[in-house]
């Protein structure tokens, strides 16, 4: 195989693995030689159709990986379409990226977008002039962020494969040889850490449809199905979001026995409360918190066996350099994105420092400790800086609380708005949960007042993004009356 794109070392490494098992869906298995042959066939098919920018709208499975690898080898632009995006967001992805080829079953919007079937599970449309992308772009990954329309991050092969090699340096040392993909492959973290990294190490990735994993949409979870899949697959490694880890820890505390095969569970995508990590350790779950962002081609820091500091996100990976700005903002150099789609090129390369927007500090051993988003930090009426994610994470570790939002900008006391875990949770239970958390916090960061949310925070009502991040400005506007009650200059005296 002679790839069109400069990732020769990656393909040479894969070819050297020969007859080792590479990927499986439980019934179909491909060794590395078979994988290389299947990728070559798909490259030829892409060339035959004249594809340039290709959207992957497939469920997790062998086909997703084969098409992704074919696009990488051919040097074409791959645009993963997350199944948990709304119809409007999916349409925005393919239109803003100038996608001419769609791989997957026709979506409800595909015909209106001009796509017509040309082969099984493959549709095309004419795109005379595609939006420009930075030179070297082979993947456009979309992040929902805090706005309605997702933003395209342009990445090259070298950055993604550098991250994958760094990850395998740590995960492979744990003895992990079989990875189960729990997150959607359209998520850059699973794509890089759950596919590229194991492939570099000659390991095997098991790929199951999301329904078999138990994940439904952006936040739905069928926990019994997930536990059953873990028991049947007996994986060595997993990648989890914080809410998935919380579900596994709670199950273990109720008597579920984690697979004895597990050696490395990476958790990231949001702040993880140290109390949850300590509970995971007590449940004998080998959990290692990490940190990354799409603009850095996924993972930047990761804890490791023998060097796991709870409360930190670990040391920088071998490919990355991390330092702090004067105000504590985390700056990263190494594998960085090429720019945002539709915006002027960032001009980033290995020598540039990327401002992440995250605040943090290093502990005495050189592990990075995050303190929240710079733009989310608020300053109380007494001049104290508070990072609300810290408090919100502690609140949602309490059994009665599913979601929490904390606000106190220019106020003498902070307000927490709480979404109960279920309708049967009483106010007394919520009050006790808040008191338990407040007992661990400094006075200025406590939830001095709280109120029960009048509805969950969801993408449908505009109070959260499609991947569960809070829309803080929308929440501030929605609960303006309750906040005004805490302002001594406001005529409102009672919290609504």
* Same domain flag for 246 and 169: yes
Expressed as residue numbers, the domain containing 452 is 377-484
For residue 224, pLDDT beyond 90? yes
For residue 380, pLDDT beyond 60? yes
Share of the chain above pLDDT 70, in %: 93
Rounded distance between C-alpha atoms, residue 187 and residue 165, angstroms = 18
The per-residue pLDDT of the chain, averaged, comes to 90
* Same domain flag for 231 and 201: yes
Residue 485 confidence class, pLDDT cut points 50, 70, 90: confident
* Same domain flag for 353 and 412: no
Q: What is the pLDDT of residues 277-326, one digit of tens each?
A: 999 999 999 999 999 999 999 999 999 999 999 999 999 999 999 999 99
Q: Is residue 490 part of a domain?
A: no
Q: Is residue 494 part of a domain?
A: no
Rounded distance between C-alpha atoms, residue 245 and residue 256, angstroms = 13
Mean pLDDT of 378-403: 87
CA distance to 358, 388, 413, 453, 471, per residue, from 410 (Å): 22, 14, 9, 22, 19
Helical H segments across 97-222, by residue range: 157-171, 188-191, 197-200, 210-213
- Determine the pLDDT at residue 345: 57
Mean pLDDT of 256-271: 93
Rounded distance between C-alpha atoms, residue 150 and residue 186, angstroms = 13
Residue 269 confidence class, pLDDT cut points 50, 70, 90: confident
Rounded distance between C-alpha atoms, residue 41 and residue 118, angstroms = 17
Rounded distance between C-alpha atoms, residue 411 and residue 425, angstroms = 29
* Same domain flag for 221 and 314: yes
* Same domain flag for 425 and 333: no
Enumerate long-range contacts of 268-272, CB under 8 Å, 24 or more apart: 268/189, 268/239, 268/241, 268/292, 268/299, 268/313, 269/189, 269/241, 269/242, 270/241, 270/242, 270/389, 270/393, 271/242, 271/370, 271/372, 271/389, 271/390, 271/393, 272/242, 272/245, 272/393
Place of tokens 């988003």: 373
- Determine the pLDDT at residue 403: 94
* Same domain flag for 46 and 195: yes
Residue 221 confidence class, pLDDT cut points 50, 70, 90: confident
Q: What is the pLDDT of residues 85-136, one digit of tens each?
A: 878 889 999 999 999 999 998 888 898 999 999 999 999 999 989 999 999 9
* Same domain flag for 264 and 142: yes
Q: Is residue 496 part of a domain?
A: no
Q: What is the pLDDT of residues 331-379, one digit of tens each?
A: 999 989 999 998 755 555 556 899 998 989 999 999 999 987 788 888 8
- Determine the pLDDT at residue 3: 44
Report how many domains make up the chain.
2
Q: Are strands 339-340 and 264-267 parallel, antiparallel or unpaired?
A: unpaired
* Same domain flag for 24 and 77: yes
Q: Which of 306, 341, 373 is the last residue of a domain?
A: 373
Q: What is the CATH number of the domain that holds 475?
A: 3.30.300.30
* Same domain flag for 262 and 395: no
Q: Which of 315, 341, 373 is the last residue of a domain?
A: 373
Q: Is residue 495 part of a domain?
A: no
* Same domain flag for 364 and 392: no
* Same domain flag for 84 and 196: yes
- Helix orientation angle between 274-282 and 242-253, rounded to the nearest 10 degrees: 40
For residue 494, pLDDT beyond 90? no
* Same domain flag for 10 and 74: yes
Write out the E strands in 309-379. 315-316, 321-324, 329-333, 339-340, 354-362, 368-373, 378-379
pTM: 0.83
Q: Nearest 5°: phi and psi at 199? A: -65, -40
Distance between alpha carbon 239 and the CA centroid of its chain, in Å?
10
- Determine the pLDDT at residue 298: 95
Q: Is residue 492 part of a domain?
A: no
Q: What is the CATH number of the domain that holds 103?
A: 3.40.50.12780
Q: Is residue 106 part of a domain?
A: yes
For residue 467, pLDDT beyond 80? no
Distance between alpha carbon 31 and the CA centroid of its chain, in Å?
28
Q: Is residue 280 part of a domain?
A: yes
Q: Which of 373, 399, 428 is the last residue of a domain?
A: 373
């Amino acid at each position: 195989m002679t790839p069109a794109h400069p990732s020769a070392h990656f393909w040479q490494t894969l070819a050297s693995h020969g007859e080792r098992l590479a990927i499986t869906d439980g019934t179909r298995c491909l060794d590395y030689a078979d994988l290389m042959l299947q990728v070559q066939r798909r490259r030829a098919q892409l060339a035959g159709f004249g594809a340039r920018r290709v959207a992957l709208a497939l469920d997790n499975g062998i086909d997703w990986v084969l098409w992704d690898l074919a696009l990488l080898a051919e040097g074409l632009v791959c645009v993963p379409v997350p199944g948990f995006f709304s119809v409007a967001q999916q349409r925005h992805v393919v239109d803003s990226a100038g996608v001419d080829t769609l791989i997957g079953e026709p979506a409800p919007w595909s015909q209106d977008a001009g796509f017509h079937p040309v082969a099984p599970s493959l549709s095309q449309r004419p795109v005379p002039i595609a939006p420009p992308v930075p030179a070297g772009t082979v993947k456009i990954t979309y992040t929902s962020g805090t706005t309605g329309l997702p933003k395209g991050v342009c990445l090259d092969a070298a950055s993604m494969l550098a991250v994958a090699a760094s990850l395998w340096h740590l995960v492979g040392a744990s003895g992990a040889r079989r990875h189960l993909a729990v997150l959607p492959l359209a998520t850059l973290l699973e794509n890089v850490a759950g596919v590229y990294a194991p492939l570099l190490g000659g390991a095997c990735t098991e790929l199951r449809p999301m329904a078999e994993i138990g994940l439904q949409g952006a936040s739905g979870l069928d926990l019994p199905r997930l536990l059953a899949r873990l028991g049947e697959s007996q994986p060595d490694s997993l990648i989890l979001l914080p809410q998935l880890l919380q579900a596994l820890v709670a199950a273990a505390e109720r008597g579920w026995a984690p697979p004895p095969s597990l050696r490395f569970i990476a958790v990231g995508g949001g702040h993880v409360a140290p109390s949850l990590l300590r509970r995971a350790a007590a449940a004998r779950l080998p959990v290692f918190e990490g940190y990354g962002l799409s603009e850095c081609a996924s993972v930047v820091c990761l804890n490791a066996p023998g060097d796991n500091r709870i409360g930190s996100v670990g040391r920088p990976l071998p490919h990355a350099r991390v330092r702090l700005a004067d105000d504590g903002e985390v700056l990263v150099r190494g594998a960085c994105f090429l720019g945002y789609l539709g915006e002027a090129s960032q001009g980033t390369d290995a020598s540039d420092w990327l401002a992440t927007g995250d605040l943090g500090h290093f502990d005495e051993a050189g592990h990075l400790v995050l303190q929240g988003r710079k733009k989310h930090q608020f300053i109380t009426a007494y001049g104290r800086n508070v990072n609300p994610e810290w408090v919100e994470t502690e609140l949602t570790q309490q059994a009665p609380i599913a979601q929490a939002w904390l606000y106190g900008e220019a106020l003498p006391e902070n307000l927490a708005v709480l979404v109960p875990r279920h309708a049967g949770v009483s106010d007394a239970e919520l009050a006790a949960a808040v008191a338990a958390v407040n007992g661990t916090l400094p006075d200025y960061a406590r939830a001095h007042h709280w109120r029960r949310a009048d509805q969950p925070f969801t993408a449908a009502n505009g109070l959260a993004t499609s991947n569960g991040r809070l829309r803080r400005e929308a929440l501030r506007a929605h609960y303006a009356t309750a906040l005004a009650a805490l302002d001594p200059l406001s005529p409102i005296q009672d919290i609504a």
